[in-house]
Amino acid sequence: MSKLADLETTDRGDQASESTIDVSGERQAVAVDAGSAAWEGLPVPAKGRKRRWLPYALYLGTLFVLVTFNFLLPRIMPGDPIDALMALGSPSFVQDDETRAALEEYYRLDASLPEQYLTYLGGLVQGDLGVSIVSNTPVTEELVPRIGWSFLLIISSLAISLIIGLPTGVHSGWKRGKGVDRGLLGFFLSVQNLPIFFVGSVVLVVFSAQMGWFPLGGASTPFNEYGGVAQILDVAHHLALPALLMGFEFATFEYLVMRSSMVSELGSDYLLSGRAKGLTERRLKYRYAGRNALLPVITVIGLQFSLAVTSIIFVERIFAYPGVGGYMFEAVGTRDYPAMQGAFLVLTITVLTTNLFVELLYRRVDPRTAR
């Protein structure tokens, strides 16, 4: 939606900032859609500062605050992991104070909060996320394969979004203002705003449950003995619906950037001279204008990574995809402190890192922000 307005700011070559009330350095801020930006954790570049360490310090500080919050909140709220173990546990288990004390001691929940906090931080520094209380398995061991699947899902959906978004963006920009441009713009605008959880549910009900064209869930067929190409196809088959869903959601991004980027290339001299030389329209469109317009797209891919963290939580849940999002959800449901801390940490670091990366990139690409 208005990410389009945000992205439009990259296209400013032919237009002075003429709006009545606008401070050009803050232009992105004006245009960016507040709603989706916060929802997706999109950063908006800060005003330029000479202090280069500042963004790093800020992000590290934020990370620290989140890690602490993540530690503290579950411990303040009613219901601890022992309650969860007992509530969800076997009714043939004796639930007396002695048992509770033994379990608290076993999971080291009997230590004072500061002690637990120090242990937790100490572990983090060494890359140790602790042991899951429900499964008694080290959290890192459980998370690593899930990170892999989540990563695969995000990467595939990015690829799909590029495949969909770039050509349509080039075409739309080339035909700017024409019917096809308006149509595409309206289409992407609407697609991006469809609630992904609703579309995902419908897709699951129709294509997986009723038509049987796609698996009901999971990341691969268990115990298949395919190997090789068949194995890859099986994984792709499981990946198809969730990745397509996210791909379409992201494609609007690529489309808008590409479109506005194209628009700014339209008046360029090389196009005029290219036409004069008799280059074909198609060649000019994709080889010259398209290629030159590609640069801003690269910066946007970073943004999508943090956007993806939002989407995978829904998508993984709908398609029972064994990723980090689902893991966090389960862990919160059982108050499994180490597991929820671990999953949340992974998501947090992903978002913060990409946001930092994007901010740094912005500063470099757009000198106005580093004024």
Instruction: Give residues 285-314 in contact with another protein (rule: CB under 8 A).
Output: 306, 309-310, 313-314
Site for another protein in 5-24 (CB under 8 A): 5, 8, 15, 18-19, 21-23
Of the residues 60, 113, 155, 233, which one makes contact with another protein according to CB under 8 A: 233
Q: How far is the CB of 280 from another protein (least distance, A)?
A: 26
Identity of the residue, 97 or 276, whose beta carbon is nearer to another protein in the bound complex: 97
The closest of 273, 369, 307, 302 to 12, measured between CA atoms, is: 369
Helix (H, G, I), strand (E, B) or coil at 137: coil
* 3-state per-residue secondary structure call for 185-207: HHHHHHHHHCCHHHHHHHHHHHH
Identity of the residue, 207 or 270, whose beta carbon is nearer to another protein in the bound complex: 207
Site for another protein in 244-283 (CB under 8 A): none
Q: What phi, psi does 17 have (nearest 5°)?
A: -70, 105
Q: What phi, psi does 126 have (nearest 5°)?
A: -90, 5
Q: What phi, psi does 194 have (nearest 5°)?
A: -65, 135
User: d(Cα 151, Cα 316) in Å, to the nearest integer?
Assistant: 12
Of the residues 113, 121, 216, 295, which one makes contact with another protein according to CB under 8 A: 216
What is the full DSSP assignment across 281-298? HHHIIIIIIIHHHTHHHH
- CA-based R_g, the chain, Å: 25
Of the residues 89, 122, 183, 267, which one makes contact with another protein according to CB under 8 A: 89
Helix (H, G, I), strand (E, B) or coil at 76: helix
Q: How far is the CB of 273 from another protein (least distance, A)?
A: 26
Q: What phi, psi does 72 have (nearest 5°)?
A: -80, -45
Neighbours of 147 (CB within 10 A): 16
Q: Is 51 in the site for another protein (CB under 8 A)?
A: no
Q: Is 53 in the site for another protein (CB under 8 A)?
A: no
Q: Give the range of 4-12, 114-122, 249-257, 287-295 binding another protein by CB under 8 A.
A: 4-12
Q: How far is the CB of 71 from another protein (least distance, A)?
A: 12
Site for another protein in 163-202 (CB under 8 A): 176-177, 181-182, 185-186, 189-190, 193-195, 197-199, 201-202
Q: Give the range of 111-119, 156-164, 278-286, 345-353 binding another protein by CB under 8 A.
A: 345-353
Q: How far is the CB of 254 from another protein (least distance, A)?
A: 18
User: d(Cα 2, Cα 256) in Å, to the nearest integer?
Assistant: 10
Number of residues interacting with another protein: please give it, by CB under 8 A: 138
Q: Is the separation of the CB atoms in 75 and 107 below 8 Å? A: no
Identity of the residue, 254 or 336, whose beta carbon is nearer to another protein in the bound complex: 336
Whole-angstrom CA distances from 7 to 25, 70, 98, 260, 282 are 14, 33, 61, 7, 25
- In sequence order, which residues have a C-beta less than 8 Å from that of residue 361 and are 6 or more positions away? 299, 302
Q: How far is the CB of 216 from another protein (least distance, A)?
A: 6
Q: How far is the CB of 199 from another protein (least distance, A)?
A: 8
Identity of the residue, 274 or 344, whose beta carbon is nearer to another protein in the bound complex: 344
Q: ∠ at Cα 291 (288, 297), nearest 5°?
A: 150
Q: How far is the CB of 7 from another protein (least distance, A)?
A: 12
Q: Which residues pair with 131 in a beta bridge?
A: 138
The closest of 251, 102, 122 to 185, measured between CA atoms, is: 251
Q: How far is the CB of 79 from another protein (least distance, A)?
A: 4
Site for another protein in 91-150 (CB under 8 A): 91-99, 102-103, 106, 131, 134-137, 141-142, 145-146, 149
Site for another protein in 316-335 (CB under 8 A): 317, 320, 322, 325, 328-330, 332-335
Identity of the residue, 228 or 367, whose beta carbon is nearer to another protein in the bound complex: 228
Q: Is 87 in the site for another protein (CB under 8 A)?
A: yes
Helix (H, G, I), strand (E, B) or coil at 138: strand
Site for another protein in 54-83 (CB under 8 A): 58-59, 61-62, 65-66, 70, 73-74, 77-79, 83
Q: Is 32 in the site for another protein (CB under 8 A)?
A: yes
